[in-house]
């Protein structure tokens, strides 16, 4: 049967990339029925330095955002990764089945370590922990943004490697990824990069909770080129094309139809149009998030419930793994 797992780091507020690349699909899959499990992966987030107070608050913020976006704690399990110790335990076992060569060429490691003088071991191990997250729940489907596809391939490889060596234990997880052309939301300041929570320039992204004024300001400051026409050319005009993609994600209109509709205005005016679309769509999400954030006890209770459910699923797999690898004394 189908089991969906995915995770998000509490490294900041959710932005448009997280929403269109991942969370929107999570909600769709949740509403199709079956087991859906979503983790706030705090252990992943400390692969780069985090302020403890900020991190703690971000866990609640991400929980609130997910619920505001339509994740229903009655239908899905929402939990905090570090509350389920089996993630770290299975990570160790899988790490012993992985070679260093396989991890070194993964793009996220390359990108995130590029500017660091000293590279934390955790950043290198990150993809293995991610495999543990997925396999621990014997997930069959993993809805993620396109930047995670190569990590999913590692999870498939490790599931097969484990099954071959110790007998069938893990289904091979499948990545559920949207259309690359539109679903990879780019940075508003540097459209050669993806939009990221951890980008130091907050104007590079639009958060789901940004006020209308901030949305307008970020749209107006979005990097475009010296041409004023609205044309969709992701290769040559990445900036304006990213705005058109975002517009298209919000309205469902095809990029070429958007270009036709706005053929008589320039990029400056078009930015106002896009800002308006974003403001209207995000308003209810922002309001729901604010309401939820005003009730931290409720959010903590959701996470507590989620951890209990996740722990019992994780324990079942972990006991099976222990037996298979020879850790179990009976």
Judged by the rule CB under 6 A, the positions of this chain that interact with ligand ATP are: 8-9, 11, 17-18, 21-22, 144-145, 147-148, 183-185, 194-198
- Please pick, among 25, 197, 218, 271, the residue that the annotation labels catalytic: 197
CA distances from 171 to 81, 136, 161, 165, 166 (A): 21, 11, 12, 14, 13
Q: Is 194 a catalytic site residue?
A: yes
Residue 226 DSSP label: S
Minimum separation from the CB atom of position 190 to ligand ATP (A): 12
Token digits for 278? 């974003």
CA–CA distance, 73 with 37 (Å, rounded to integer): 10
Q: What is the 3-state secondary structure (H, E, C) of 89-122?
A: HHHHHHHCCCCHHHHHCCHHHHHHHCCCCCCCHH
Contact between 45 and 94 under an 8 Å Cβ cutoff? The reply is: no
Q: Which is nearer to ligand ATP, 144 or 222 (CB)?
A: 144
Q: Which is nearer to ligand ATP, 144 or 303 (CB)?
A: 144
CA–CA distance, 88 with 128 (Å, rounded to integer): 10
Q: Which is nearer to ligand ATP, 14 or 313 (CB)?
A: 14
Q: Which is nearer to ligand ATP, 195 or 230 (CB)?
A: 195
Minimum separation from the CB atom of position 144 to ligand ATP (A): 4
User: How many helical (H) and strand (E) elements, i.e. helices and strands, does the chain have?
Assistant: 15, 5
Q: Which is nearer to ligand ATP, 21 or 255 (CB)?
A: 21
- Please pick, among 75, 112, 309, 323, the residue that the annotation labels catalytic: 112
Q: Which is nearer to ligand ATP, 89 or 190 (CB)?
A: 190
137 burial type by CB count under 10 A (0-12 exposed, 13-18 middle, 19+ buried): buried
Q: Which is nearer to ligand ATP, 144 or 259 (CB)?
A: 144
Q: Is 283 a catalytic site residue?
A: no
CA–CA distance, 207 with 219 (Å, rounded to integer): 12
Minimum separation from the CB atom of position 152 to ligand ATP (A): 10
- Please pick, among 25, 194, 218, 271, the residue that the annotation labels catalytic: 194
Residue 192 DSSP label: T
Minimum separation from the CB atom of position 197 to ligand ATP (A): 4
Minimum separation from the CB atom of position 18 to ligand ATP (A): 4
Q: Is 186 a catalytic site residue?
A: no
- With CB atoms as reference, the residue minimizing the distance to ligand ATP is 21
Q: Closest Cα to residue 217, out of 279, 160, 157, 261?
A: 279
Minimum separation from the CB atom of position 264 to ligand ATP (A): 30
Across the beta sheet with 174-176, what order do the strands follow? 77-80, 35-40, 3-8, 141-143, 174-176
> Which DSSP helix (H) or strand (E) runs through 79?
strand 77-80
Minimum separation from the CB atom of position 301 to ligand ATP (A): 23
Q: Which residues contact 8 (CB under 8 A, 6 or more apart)?
A: 14, 18, 22, 23, 38, 39, 40, 41, 62, 66
* Residues taking part in catalysis: 112, 194, 197
């Amino acid at each position: 049967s189908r089991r969906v797992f995915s995770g998000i780091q509490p490294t900041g507020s959710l932005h448009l990339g997280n929403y269109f690349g991942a969370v929107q699909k999570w909600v769709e899959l949740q509403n199709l029925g079956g087991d859906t499990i979503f983790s706030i992966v705090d252990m992943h987030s400390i692969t780069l330095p985090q302020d403890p107070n900020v991190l703690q608050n971000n866990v609640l913020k991400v929980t609130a955002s997910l619920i505001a976006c339509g994740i229903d704690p009655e239908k899905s399990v929402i939990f905090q990764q570090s509350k389920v110790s089996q993630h770290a335990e299975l990570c160790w076992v899988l790490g012993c089945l992985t070679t260093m060569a396989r991890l070194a060429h993964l793009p996220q490691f390359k990108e995130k370590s590029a500017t660091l003088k000293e590279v934390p071991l955790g950043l290198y191990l990150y993809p293995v922990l991610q495999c543990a997250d997925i396999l621990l729940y014997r997930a069959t489907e993993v809805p993620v943004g396109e930047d995670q596809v190569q990590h999913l391939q590692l999870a498939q490889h490790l599931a097969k490697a484990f099954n071959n060596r110790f007998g069938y234990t893990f289904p091979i997880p499948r990545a559920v990824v949207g259309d690359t052309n539109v679903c990879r939301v780019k940075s508003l300041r540097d459209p050669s990069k993806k939009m990221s929570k951890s980008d130091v320039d907050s104007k590079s992204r639009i958060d789901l909770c940004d006020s209308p004024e901030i949305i307008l300001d970020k749209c107006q400051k979005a990097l475009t080129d010296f041409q004023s026409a609205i044309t969709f050319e992701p290769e040559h005009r990445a900036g304006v094309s990213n705005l058109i993609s975002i517009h298209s994600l919000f309205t469902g209109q095809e990029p070429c139809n958007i270009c036709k509709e706005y053929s008589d205005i320039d990029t400056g005016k078009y930015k106002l149009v896009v800002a308006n679309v974003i403001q209207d769509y995000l308003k209810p999400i922002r309001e729901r998030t604010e309401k939820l954030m005003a009730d931290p006890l409720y959010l903590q209770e959701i996470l507590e419930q989620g951890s209990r459910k996740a722990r019992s699923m994780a324990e079942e797999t972990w006991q099976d793994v222990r037996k298979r690898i020879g850790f179990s004394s009976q």
